[in-house]
Amino acid sequence: MRARSGTRADAAWLAGGWLQGATRCETPNRNTRPAQMPIDLVVIHSISLPPGRFGGDAIEQLFTNRLDCDADPYYPRLRGLAVSSHFVLRRDGAVLQFVGCDDRAWHAGMSSWRGRGDCNDFSIGVELEGLEGQAFEPAQYDALADLLAALALRYPIEGVAGHEHVAPMRKLDPGAGFEWRRLAAALGWPARYFPAGTVAGG
């Protein structure tokens, strides 16, 4: 999926908030958002399974409840876990979508953003394949900027935050390796869209 020409206004959406061109990997780990809830936040996460190992299909397996929890010493702690994100961005920039954006994915958990709790109700979750605190690939920043611009065409996006910002006592991702200023510059969005202190003037 690429929508970088002009204002990236050439992004196409399918019914239910499925992005045309993304690889569709539907999961049952979703539910309906509260009625009349504006979808105005994007939460950025990082994930790799096992931690620090990239490639393979373990992330897809986890989000679709197919992970063999005996396949790696790290996996038993994930047994019975039912989670999902709307999107996963691979290290090469490939875009996978697990939940239509009109629906509620299970990514943020106990969370709060600017005085509102339960961010899953009003946010879209984007997982970057990577390890919290470490660097992400240029292709991922390109794909993320394209995705955010496409989301802003369909939803009233007013904020972009890390999991660490909406659940600061529990989560550390995407961490210090994520370049917020790079993302803000690519989008051309004002500092008020981002967490305080991550972008000049924020």
Residue type at position 176: A
69 within a domain of the structure (yes/no) = yes
200 within a domain of the structure (yes/no) = no
Question: How far from 25 is each of 7, 21, 59, 108, 189, CA to CA, in Å?
Answer: 28, 12, 11, 19, 30
173 within a domain of the structure (yes/no) = yes
pLDDT band at 10 (very low <50, low <70, confident <90, very high): low
Within 13 Å, how many C-alpha atoms sit on residue 65's CB side? 10
168 within a domain of the structure (yes/no) = yes
129 within a domain of the structure (yes/no) = yes
Domain that holds residue 126: 13-189
What secondary structure letter does DSSP report for 34?
Answer: P
Which positions are annotated as active-site residues?
127
Mean pLDDT along residues 122-142:
97
172 within a domain of the structure (yes/no) = yes
Domain count for the chain, please give it: 1
Mean pLDDT, the chain, whole residue set: 94
| CATH number of 23's domain | 3.40.80.10
pLDDT at position 169 over 50: yes
How many whole angstroms separate alpha carbon 89 and alpha carbon 95?
A: 5
92 within a domain of the structure (yes/no) = yes
pLDDT band at 201 (very low <50, low <70, confident <90, very high): low
pLDDT tens per residue, range 78-116 = 999 999 999 999 999 999 999 999 999 999 999 999 999
Q: Are strands 23-24 and 95-97 parallel, antiparallel or unpaired?
A: parallel
Measured from the Cβ of residue 57, the count of other Cβ atoms closer than 10 Å reads 12
Phi, psi of 147 (to 5 degrees): -65, -45
pLDDT at position 5 over 60: no
Give the closest residue to 109 by CA, choosing from 173, 62, 171: 171
Question: Can you say how many angstroms the Cα of residue 71 is from the centroid of all Cα atoms in its chain?
Answer: 26
Residue 1 pLDDT: 34
pTM of the model: 0.94
Residue 200 pLDDT: 77
197 within a domain of the structure (yes/no) = no
